[in-house]
Amino acid sequence: MQTARQQDPQPLVAAVRGATKHYPGVLALDDVDFEIGRGEVRALLGKNGAGKSTLIRLLTGATVPDSGEVTINGAALTGSGTQRTVEAARLGVRAVYQELSLIVGMSIAENLFLGRWPSSMGVLSHGEMEHQARETLVRLGLTLDPRRRVATLSPAERQLVEIARVMIGEPKLVVLDEPTSSLAAAEVELLFKAVRSLAAAGIAVIYVSHRMSEIRQIAQAATVMRDGKVAGTVKVAGADTAEIIRLMLGHSEQEDRLVGAARGGDTVLSVRDLAVPPKLSGVSFDLKRGEVLGFAGLLGSGRTELLRAIGGLDAVRTGTVLLDDKDITRASYGERVKSGIGMTPESRKEDGIVPLLGVDENTVATDFSKVAVNGVISASRMAEAAGDIIRRIGIKTARIDTPVGTLSGGNQQKVVIGRWVYAGSRILLLDEPTRGVDVEAKSQIYAIVRQLAAEGKSIIFVSSEIEELPKVCDRVLVLKEGNFVQEFSAPGIETDALMAACL
């Protein structure tokens, strides 16, 4: 499906031909061809693990293909290791990733020239730097003062500075990885303006995003990846969303569904008109006893913010959170934990585990008092409690006191969930519980979640992998631009309908 390219008269900026890349146990790219021409904005879509990142890494020289060829502006990349990255950068490839990499204590101008500050005789020339920075900003249609410190900028402005940074030198191909995920709707227009200036200057732009409305506004064509292959490249103008979803999902049958017909328990958690500017505006839902409720939504749709607000980690502007008809909107995180809410964070390493402590202590950390006698932790009680959780959740560990940092990601995640089971929490808020764990561990985690629900616990399951939600959830709510737009109930939640609601 090369229709989009063939009608494009512009010369090629980058081409990948027959690229294959193996990682241990995974075929990340399977004979992939990809081309992009001058001044083109190409959307790149695909589920997690479809091969988008590997394709981008090929273009930026961060990865060498096992076979196949990458050419930038007619020149094939030949180096290996960091040399290859330098080579790609010299040929004009630039990438802006989701995590911002600005130094907030420095000015915009200093950030634009980071490490390559203009100088004469070893002395930085601030005037020259500001002059060049201002020119670059103006070229992108931005009116920011280059002397401003990055710390004073909004998230959108910082994103724009990141984009301005790639303009330094002579960029030919710019990769933007989910550039709007951290932006509020109103700020997206600023970014579009900048992207259009890039294209107008003849720069090819690869725009990784799944927001169809954005893709329609900014891109001419969309390349969809699936299972390490290019599933298709379609003209955005002609394609409807269903077509793109079909390309993303393929026709894989959904197996191992664990969800039966939805049961109706009593409402345990009730959220009304919850607003956390700028990400959430007036969200309402009920969570029933024994229910697994999924939150679907694209990156930046407000999933994590909603979970943090329910957990009491972020203050809410307006709205109420009722736990068993008791208003806990103003309760602190600690108070909510005591009343039976447990939360597992999105980032296991940074916020989840204490790597040097054992499985046992990581488990009982949510409530030391349960294994203490007169304030003294009893080794036998702790061993018993941790052993119980290890058995119930199926944590694979050599000993109960093995440092958690040495376990696999899946088992670490089970510990993080298990500590709330130990604490006796009734409501579990699971933020991306299957992120970064292998396939086997994923299905184990699904089974654990279903088992906990069967025991009467209520679970909110947040995931960016849309196809896993129908496997575990009794009900799925779709978040879009800070509000729920659609609700799906088991049985019979279809992945493509879910995906369509998210895009």
Partner 1 sequence: MSATTTNHRRGFRLFALDINEIGLIVILLVLYFGFGATTNGFLSANNHLSLLRDAASIAIAAWAVTLIIIAGEIDVSVGPMVAFTSVCLAFMLKADVNVAPAILAALAIGGALGTFAGSLRAYFGVPSFVATLGLWSALRGMSFFTTNALPVTFPDNAFLDILADNMFGIPSSAIVMLVLFAIFSFVSQKTAYGRSIFAVGGNANAAELCGINVARIRVLIFTTSGVMAALAGVLLTARLGSGNAGTASGLEFDVIAAVVIGGTALSGGRGSMLGTLLGVFVITLIGNGLVLRGINPFFQEVVRGVIIVAAVLANILVTRYREHRIFGA
Binding site for partner 1 (CB under 8 A): 333-334, 337-338, 343, 345, 350-358, 361, 365-369, 372, 375-377, 379, 382, 398-399, 401-403, 405-406, 419, 423
Closest separation between CB of residue 104 and partner 1, Å?
A: 16
- Residue 346 Cβ vs partner 1, minimum distance, rounded to whole Å: 11
**Helix 155-166 vs helix 126-139: angle between axes, to the nearest 10 degrees?**
100
CB of 102 vs partner 1, minimal distance in Å: 22
State the nearest-atom distance from the C-beta of 357 to partner 1, in Å: 6
Indicate the SS3 state at residue 232: strand
* Nearer to partner 1 (CB atom), residue 343 or residue 421: 343
| Shortest Å, Cβ 383 to partner 1 | 9
DSSP 349: I
By beta-carbon proximity to partner 1, the closer residue of 269 and 478 is: 269
Q: What is the nearest approach in angstroms of partner 1 to the Cβ of residue 37?
A: 45
CA distance 177 to 280: 23
Give the nearer residue to partner 1 in terms of CB position, either 153 or 372: 372
- Nearer Cβ to partner 1 (268/382): 382
Nearer to partner 1, 118 or 403 (CB): 403
Any bridge partners for residue 208, and if so which? 44, 177
Amino acid sitting at position 108 = I
Shortest Å distance, C-beta 424 to partner 1: 12
Task: Count other Cβ atoms within 10 Å, centred on residue 26.
Answer: 12
> Which CB sits closer to partner 1, 139 or 435?
435
The sign of the torsion formed by the CA atoms of 280, 285, 291, 296 equals negative
Token pair 């927001």 in the structure block, residue: 211
How many other β-carbons are positioned within 10 Å of the β-carbon of residue 267? 15
Which of residues 197 and 366 has its CB atom nearest to partner 1 in the complex?
366
Between 46 and 340, CB nearer to partner 1 = 340
Min dist CB 395 to partner 1, Å, is: 15
Q: Is 83 in contact with 90 (CB distance < 8 Å)?
A: no
* Long-range pairs for 133-142: beta carbons < 8 A, 24 or more residues apart: 133/108, 133/109, 133/164, 134/109, 136/112, 136/164, 136/167, 136/168, 137/108, 137/164, 139/167, 139/197, 139/201, 140/164, 140/167, 140/193, 140/194, 140/197, 140/198, 141/193, 141/194, 141/197, 142/190, 142/194
